[in-house]
Amino acid sequence: MFTRRFFAERGGLSANVGCHGLAQARSEIAARGLVVTVVQAYYGFVVAQRKYATSQRAAAEAQNFFDISQKLERGGEVAHSDVIKAEIQFQQQQRDLQQAELEMNRTRLELAVLVFPDFNENFSVWTICNSRISACIPEVQAAAARKNPDLRAATSALQAANQEVAIAWYGFLPSPVAGLFFRH
């Protein structure tokens, strides 16, 4: 009776430990998923900002081309069909600019909802593309090795494999002890 109860309690304890480990693993997976979501939102916002800036330049160029076409038409140098083409191109660039602005605002809101608990929309992002990233690569690698369990496990496996290779190479070398026993 005592042994049955002991093993039943012990089995329940190991089941609880297993459930706790499972809960920790799921929590870590969820945290990583959240990090991935925030990073995707951040870079989505950076890309949307750059697309908006590019669309602004394209719209300004289309406006300039349309204005020049109208002036040349008044001077009799181009046909009216060229002015209509320039106007259509200008309108298309305006639509693209509006789409880029809408996408930028959407990604800004998405990032604000994910990052700020009080829904703060007054923020700016500092892009990695504007920094010197090559100077901080060793720091990033060291932080990743410390904080990422998958990377830690892979690094440990690599070190173990390197040690096994070194041991195998030492097996090919002649042993000084073997030379003492096999002298002629």
Angle at 144 between CA 138 and CA 147, to 5 degrees: 140
Q: Which residue has the higher pLDDT, 145 or 116?
A: 116
Local structure of residue 83 (DSSP, 8 states): H
Calpha distance 165→87 (Å, rounded): 70
pLDDT category at 88 given cuts 50, 70, 90 is: very high
Q: What is the pLDDT of residue 112?
A: 85
Q: What's the Cα-to-Cα distance from 31 to each of 3, 36, 42, 158, rounded to whole Å?
A: 41, 9, 16, 26
What pLDDT score was predicted for residue 116? 78
Q: Are 83 and 73 in contact (CB under 8 A)?
A: yes
- 15-37 pLDDT, tens digit per residue, is 454 566 666 667 677 777 777 88
Spatial contact of 73 and 82, defined as CB atoms under 8 Å apart: yes
Q: If we measure between CA atoms, which residue out of 30, 11, 33 comes closest to residue 22?
A: 30
Please enumerate in sequence order all residues whose Cβ is within 8 A of that of 175, keeping only pairs 6 or more positions apart, or say none. none
What token pair was written down for 51?
Answer: 């697309």
Average pLDDT on 175-183 reads: 57
Residues in the chain: 184
Quote the pLDDT of residue 48.
95
> Which residues have a Cβ under 8 Å from the Cβ of 107 and sit 6 or more positions away?
41, 44, 45, 47, 48
Residue 73 CA to residue 151 CA, distance in Å, equals 66
When comparing pLDDT for 163 and 133, which is higher? 163
Mean pLDDT, rounded, for 160-181: 67
Q: How confident is the model at residue 136 (pLDDT cuts 50, 70, 90)?
A: low
Instruction: State the Cα–Cα distance between residues 98 and 92, nearest whole angstrom.
Output: 10
